Structures are given as C-alpha cells and as structure tokens.
C-alpha cells in the first residue's frame, strides 16, 4: 500500500459539486492499493499514520500524533500512486490492485482507521473526485508499506 499523508487545517472531497466528505484539522490520506496488498499492509500503514508525530507541540516541535490532537482523517482512494513512468510518457498502472480487490482493501483500511480516529471521512472509490485542502505547513509525507 502507498499513501500520501498531508497535514491539513481543513479538507473536503466533492463529486459533481456535492461534498461527500469534509474534515477540519487532521490528515488527508491519498491511498493506493497494490496487487500484493492484504490485511497486514493495512495494519502496518494505519499504525504508522496513527502514531506519526507531525503536529506541533506548544514549543513548536513536531511531537504530537493525530491521537494527541484529536484530529480527523479524510481518506481518498488513489490508484495513480502506483503509476510507473519508466517507459515512455504514458504511465502504466499495472502494479495497482484490481478494482474489486482494491476497493475491498480500501474499505477495510477505512474501517481500521475508524477504530482509532474520532472522525473518518471518505471520498467514493472509483469516482472522479475534486479534493480541496489547506495543507498545514505545508507538511506532506509519502509512505509505502514495502519500506515501513
């Protein structure tokens, strides 16, 4: 699994001008599912995201986690995180999980996040979405379960 985690002041996802998910302070997680992913990757990735200390404490140091600040999470499916651009100019997405498998794992990831986070919002798997956010920092982290 791959994720781009952005610390945000606020964020929302819309489909055809209808807001389907929105949060205030927390993380936007763009989530990509690969062919070889399963429950172990869900746990590894969510555990890292949940415990990652990228919020500032009273001294201005990044010592606080999502749990520490009571932050929310907006999770958006993003198969393009598996783009391979080695050959030519058109990306290949052959390493992304098959849609049915990826959707099931995406939903499991959302459910797992919901066990910890006070507020979990989502986009809609497979839909064309407009994601808007105010990146706080800016602070953006790229995670891959192959490297965790």
Strand 26-32 to strand 2-15: parallel, antiparallel, or no bridges (unpaired)?
A: antiparallel
Catalytically annotated residue among 55, 79, 109, 125: 79
For residue 144, the cross-strand partners are 2
Catalytically annotated residue among 6, 78, 122, 145: 78
> In whole angstroms, how far apart are CA 33 and each of 30, 57, 139?
10, 32, 22
Cα–Cα distance for residue pair 33/40, rounded to 1 Å: 12
Q: Is 140 a catalytic residue?
A: no
Q: Is 80 a catalytic residue?
A: yes
Q: Is 79 a catalytic residue?
A: yes
Cα–Cα distance for residue pair 98/138, rounded to 1 Å: 32
Residue where the block lists tokens 């006070």:
118
What torsion do the CA atoms of 106, 25, 130, 113 make, to the nearest 10 degrees? 10
Residues recognised as catalytic: 78-80
């Amino acid at each position: 699994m791959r994720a781009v985690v952005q610390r945000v002041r606020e964020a929302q996802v819309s489909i055809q001008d209808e807001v389907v998910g929105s949060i205030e302070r927390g993380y936007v997680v763009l989530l990509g599912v690969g062919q070889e992913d399963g429950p172990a990757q869900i746990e590894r990735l969510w555990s890292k995201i949940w415990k990652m200390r990228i919020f500032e404490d009273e001294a201005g140091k990044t010592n606080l986690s999502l749990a520490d600040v009571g932050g929310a999470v907006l999770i958006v499916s993003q198969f393009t995180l598996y783009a391979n651009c080695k050959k030519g100019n058109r990306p290949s997405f052959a390493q992304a999980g098959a849609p049915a498998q990826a959707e099931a794992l995406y939903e499991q990831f959302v459910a797992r996040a919901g066990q910890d986070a006070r507020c979990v919002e989502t986009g809609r798997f497979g839909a064309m979405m407009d994601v808007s956010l105010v990146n706080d920092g800016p602070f953006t982290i790229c995670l891959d379960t192959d490297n965790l």
